[in-house]
Structure 1
Amino acid sequence: MRDEPSAYRLGYVAQSLTLGVGASHTCRLASATPERLTALIARNLAELEQLLLFNEAHGIELFRIGSSLIPFGSHPVNTLPWWSTHARDFDHLGHIARRSRQRLSLHPSPAAASLTSVHQRVRDAALAELRYSARVLDLLGQGPEARVVLHLGGAAPSRPEALDTAHRFLDGMPAELRDRIVLEHDDKVWSARETLALARAHGLPMLADNLHNALEPSDPVMSLDELLRASAASWRVLDLRPKFHLASQAPGGRPGAHADRIDPEDFRAVVAALDGPADLMLEAKDKDLALFALREQNTAPRKRSRAPRDVQSPTRE
């Protein structure tokens, strides 16, 4: 049954508000000395252990690691051999994640990893960020379902030229890095249909986002059903469990701003559109609290309200 809890798993992004930790402590570039970076890395890895153990205790099998786990991990200022110095720490963390079936991911900011920029220095920085992110997932012993989520980037100087740049960038990317990424459409520039075409051309999965699809619709428009089915197929052809983003618009916020919690109607719409098992990463400001709230809403028994016969039940707006 497509709407049974077993058909989907819920995850959250980077920070547990319950614990008050996020494993993403960083500093300004000017103060990124080896000593400062060493202390921050140790603190972040310790907090990541707390997060993974917390997830294990609460049956959470989907989690996005903050990109600042290793501060300036892709920047030349960080000259530390952190991958070897902390190899045992990563082995330990990976063991926790694997025994509890936690599917992990990273999501660099669009500014840190652009596929479409015509500027070589920007593409070099994106490649460095991808190497760093992929190395984290490799050190944690994650399988091929664990991906680095990438947006395409901007559309300058023109959409055809930007897309051509992305194609060439992906063509020249080392296979071990390309096999770690998933492409996501965005809410301002690149629609799901455009992103899906690029992903298919390079044998990559495409990550669907319900809110982005509403704000930057495809031409022709993709319904939520079509969006999720097309995205799911791009994962399944690689024998990977589909993964989607689920978000709600913040009332009164700028278009695309995430709400504190997931609107139950958005959740029901996405679950109803699933055509098989999938993972739903909740992009909500309340992080794990939003996940727990959604769980409670969908596991608590429904109670029938009993109003007096001569009193009309209040209308919900």
Structure 2
Amino acid sequence: MIVRFGYVAMSTVIKDCSPSKTMTMASFTKLNDREAGLRKLESIAKMNLHNTLRLLKHNVGSDIEVYRMTSKLVPLGTHPDLQDWDPFAALAGEFAEVGDYVKKHGLRVSFHPDHFTVLSTPRPEVLASSVRDLQHHTDMLMAMGLPATAKNNIHIGGAYGDKPVAAARFKEHFAALPAELQERITLENDDKTFNALETLEVSRSLGLPMVLDIHHQWVNNEGELPWEIWPEIQQTWKSPLALKDVQAGEHLPPKIHVSSPRSPSDPRSHADGVEPAPLLAFLKRIAADTPAVDVMIEAKLKDGALFDLMAALKELAEAGNGITILDGASINVEP
């Protein structure tokens, strides 16, 4: 089984390369010239996209083919007081440059809209904000010229005192989304509310690919082991929505998230790095029936955690643990 590792947004190795520089609305409103303020926001966004391209080049140089982009590329891009501002015309060249690089090198990129994007909400104003945020993320991917294989990963959201009703509301709100938003969504289990089994049920009913977070599953489950439900999760990656824009004869590998608990007293928070043993235990259990899987590392050290994990895996490979190092960010795992 081929396993590719990726990381989230920021680099702790490349200095002065933040793709998430921003401006607060308070600072924006203090500016006397609104048009000058909008040009300033566009200038910040151009720097964020420039730094994203720098990170992608760093990734390619390090054999990293999986990367989650920051949602903060365009500062204040979804603020309700700036809905008359369309930044994409001014940023067309920068977005296209990032997208061209992604396509040239066959990278797998994604977004993860924040926890305020909740389709299970009963509040119309929150729903409108959530749809606006999903549209913004989709607009960024489309500005990059990326196919629907570039996804927006979200959680189901809150239970609001009645989890079955909230799940049904999520399905209803999802069904009302434009097709261009639907085809880019993946659904992930969370660490407090909708567990892996509940998320799988919603994913299957909507034909959505499911991202299994094995850390979340560890702290929020119904007694199932993660590899026991993996065959059904893997099947969600064969749905029409999952396969949209996938080339004939090719496949989009399932994706999982991995992180390690910060401490026994704080099991939900993420540690600086990733402990290899629990991850390998899972990978070995699924290797026989899974040709390939992509692993998003959600650790505080970002790409530094990826490099540390690869160093640890190299030692294990040399000791003969059914692991083969393929390059700087991928391995082969034998059952």
1:256 matched to 2:268 = yes
Match of 2:19 among 23, 27, 40: 23
Match of 2:118 among 114, 125, 128: 114
Deviation of 1:202 after TM superposition, in Å, equals 1.1
Match of 2:101 among 96, 99, 114: 96
Unpaired segments ≥5 residues, structure 1: 305-317
Determine the structure 2 residue equivalent to 1:283. 298
TM-score (norm 1): 0.88
Determine the structure 1 residue equivalent to 2:7. 12
1:139 matched to 2:151 = no
Larger relative contact order (CA 8 Å, sep ≥ 6): 2
Distance 2:109 2:171 in 1: 26
Determine the structure 1 residue equivalent to 2:34. none
Match of 2:177 among 173, 177, 187: 173
SS state at 1:77 partner? helix
**Equivalent runs, 1:207-246 vs 2, <5 Å:** 207-218=211-222, 221-237=223-239, 238-239=242-243, 240-246=252-258
User: Judging changes above 3 Å, is the alpha-carbon distance between structure 1 residues 54 and 114 closer, same or farther for their aligned structure 2 residues?
Assistant: same
Determine the structure 1 residue equivalent to 2:210. 206
Q: How far does the alpha carbon of each residue in 1:271-301 deviate from its partner, in whole angstroms, 9 at most, with x for none?
A: 2133220100001101001111111222246
Distance 2:150 2:231 in 1: 20
Is the contact made by 1:185 and 1:207 (CA closer than 8 Å) also made in structure 2? yes
SS state at 1:290 partner? helix
SS state at 2:267 partner? coil
Unpaired segments ≥5 residues, structure 2: 29-36, 244-251, 321-335
Q: How far does the alpha carbon of each residue in 1:167-212 deviate from its partner, in whole angstroms, 9 at most, with x for none?
A: 1101111111010100111000001111111111111111101011
Determine the structure 2 residue equivalent to 1:309. none
Distance 1:58 1:254 in 2: 32
User: Judging changes above 3 Å, is the alpha-carbon distance between structure 1 residues 22 and 270 closer, same or farther for their aligned structure 2 residues?
Assistant: farther
Match of 1:152 among 138, 151, 156: 156
Deviation of 1:303 after TM superposition, in Å, equals 6.2
SS state at 1:256 partner? strand
Is the contact made by 2:46 and 2:94 (CA closer than 8 Å) also made in structure 1? no
SS state at 2:269 partner? coil
User: Judging changes above 3 Å, is the alpha-carbon distance between structure 1 residues 271 and 223 closer, same or farther for their aligned structure 2 residues?
Assistant: same
Q: Per residue, is there more strand in 1 or in 2?
A: 2
SS state at 2:232 partner? helix
The amino acid of 1:138's aligned partner reads M
Is the contact made by 1:16 and 1:51 (CA closer than 8 Å) also made in structure 2? yes
Deviation of 1:159 after TM superposition, in Å, equals 1.5
The amino acid of 1:92's aligned partner reads E
Deviation of 1:229 after TM superposition, in Å, equals 2.6
User: Judging changes above 3 Å, is the alpha-carbon distance between structure 1 residues 291 and 158 closer, same or farther for their aligned structure 2 residues?
Assistant: same
Is the contact made by 1:208 and 1:227 (CA closer than 8 Å) also made in structure 2? no
Is the contact made by 2:24 and 2:76 (CA closer than 8 Å) also made in structure 1? no
The amino acid of 1:140's aligned partner reads M
Distance 1:191 1:183 in 2: 11
* 135-144 or 59-68: bigger deviation: 135-144
Determine the structure 1 residue equivalent to 2:133. 129
Determine the structure 1 residue equivalent to 2:311. 296
* 199-208 or 294-303: bigger deviation: 294-303
1:193 matched to 2:218 = no
Is the contact made by 1:145 and 1:241 (CA closer than 8 Å) also made in structure 2? no
Determine the structure 1 residue equivalent to 2:329. none
SS state at 1:296 partner? helix
The amino acid of 1:266's aligned partner reads P
SS state at 2:200 partner? helix
Is the contact made by 2:42 and 2:74 (CA closer than 8 Å) also made in structure 1? no
Deviation of 1:65 after TM superposition, in Å, equals 0.6
Distance 1:179 1:18 in 2: 34
Determine the structure 2 residue equivalent to 1:312. none
Q: Identical aligned pairs, as a percentage?
A: 30
TM-score (norm 2): 0.84
Q: How far does the alpha carbon of each residue in 1:138-189 deviate from its partner, in whole angstroms, 9 at most, with x for none?
A: 2222233221011111111411221221111011111110101001110000
CA RMSD, aligned part only? Answer: 1.7
Distance 1:287 1:241 in 2: 22
The amino acid of 2:92's aligned partner reads A
Q: How far does the alpha carbon of each residue in 1:201-228 deviate from its partner, in whole angstroms, 9 at most, with x for none?
A: 111111101011011103xx32121233
The amino acid of 1:25's aligned partner reads K
Distance 2:308 2:203 in 1: 34
